Amino acid sequence: MSGVPAVVIAAPSSGSGKTTVSTGLIGALRAAGHRVAPFKVGPDYIDPGYHAVAAGVVGRNLDPNLVGEERVGPLFAAGSAGADIAVVEGVMGLFDGRILDDDAGVADPTGFGSTAHVARTIGAPVVLVVDAAGHSQSLAALLHGFVGYDATVRIAGVILNRVGSARHETVLRQACARVGLPVFGVVRRDPGLQVPSRHLGLIPAAERRADAVRAVDAMTVTIGAALDLPAIVAAARTRRPEPVTTWSAADAVGDAARTGDGGRPLVAVAGGAAFTFGYAEHRELLIAAGADVAGFDPLYDPLPPGTDAVVIGGGFPEEHAEALSANEPLRAGLAAHATAGRPILAECAGLLYLATELDGHPMAGVLDVVGRFGPTLTLGYRDAVAVGDSVAFVAGERVTGHEFHRSTVGPGPGAPASAWAWRDHAGVAGTHGFATTSVHASYLHVHPAGHPGAVVRFVESARSAATRRHERNTLGESV
């Protein structure tokens, strides 16, 4: 059970300033001497990167859609171990969850996977960040609606963002007082607090490096000065947690942690500026399942010596296509790795990197597909079924994953069989991704904590590859 105090930073809608406020709050709490555990509701990889810079520890996600409602509390407990306060940044508007249509075509009103859902699950109070630009006395009506919409969600107070003047602040405070909500902070309009963005949202902190640190420092100073930190900490201490068993990677994989005769295979995990998307639990599960893990940057590095399996997650390869293409030793190494039957697991950006080319730039050529960046955003949760057995999934296995990309891939005549099958929002069935005996690649992001068996299967595939290589080396020496 985790009794760590926690506060959920939510908003009436997207674009209200949750990320700036959350990141600045995390940094200010850390500067005040707190050990802060940062979380993000939903599948987003980018915001946790800024949280991590502010907190000095890895940012984690809480997504009932991807891991199951029953794992949210245990994962929160694991991620907040050793902290004295947790800050959870919400997603979209407070009650916005996955849109599910019933047979009558009516959207599910429960807001499954919403910020409100997660706040209820972990028993934490909500602080509502309101973009005050354009608001005056009518703010009271908006707040009244949010307070009364769901009695199981406790809104502890308000942070007024983008306030224009002292007079504006006075009117807004009066509106909050009318509905009985304390004001935990007032942030004035400051264009300097904007974080640069592009086609898929904010630019990841790992790409901005020093600039990201400076941006987080600025948020920490400005937001910290604008907020009533003692009042927010006091609100966090009103959290009402339910008893849970803390999640652990060792428990999730069970007996698979025993390495057996194959020893510990080496799994190389891509990182760097081009591949910034990944969940912290993935590495923990790989290690618990019996693998050693080494990071590498595809912009500069070859495969680590002795690599038995490769994980290439999401990111923005289209922004780095020329540099990725220029790393010919790695491209050749990945192709040889796949030809030798050693496993590769690739998601989204990883799929593009395994293609023959991306926007005219040669890639690894592991798959006979061509990647193109386009104008159309593909976004949403998918209930998918594995088409066949692969290095990670078993035929017929069902998962809920998430797509988030503006690129497309066109298969060539040598493209392998599909990895997944699912129906789109119109109910049209289709197949997606690609799978061979050694490679599983698709646009679908799957949270490993929701499917630890896939990690176990992947490590077993890596161990088999390591055993085959050892046998070949032994045979060569004997000859």
For the annotated catalytic residues, the residue numbers are 348
Q: How far apart are CA 132 and CA 90, in angstroms?
A: 18
**Which helix (H) or strand (E) is 48 found in, with range?**
helix 46-55
Q: What are phi and psi of 387, to 5 degrees?
A: -70, -40
- How do 369-386 and 420-423 pair as beta strands? antiparallel
CA atoms within 13 A on the CB side of 341: 9
Q: How far apart are CA 127 and CA 175, in angstroms?
A: 16
Angle ∠(234,280,229) on CA atoms, nearest 5:
15
Is residue 355 within 8 A of residue 363, CB to CB? The reply is: yes
Task: Give residue 404's identity as a one-letter amino acid code.
Answer: F
Q: How far apart are CA 440 and CA 426, in angstroms?
A: 26
Q: How far apart are CA 42 and CA 321, in angstroms?
A: 28
In 199-290, DSSP assigns E strands to 201-202, 266-270
Give CA 293 to chain center in angstroms. 20
Q: How far apart are CA 199 and CA 272, in angstroms?
A: 19
Task: Give residue 411's identity as a one-letter amino acid code.
Answer: P
Q: What are phi and psi of 22, to 5 degrees?
A: -60, -45
Q: How far apart are CA 42 and CA 63, in angstroms?
A: 5
For residue 10, what is the DSSP state? E
3-state secondary structure of 448: helix
Q: How far apart are CA 276 and CA 271, in angstroms?
A: 6
Rg (CA), the chain: 23
Q: How far apart are CA 156 and CA 236, in angstroms?
A: 9
Q: What are phi and psi of 273, to 5 degrees?
A: -65, -30
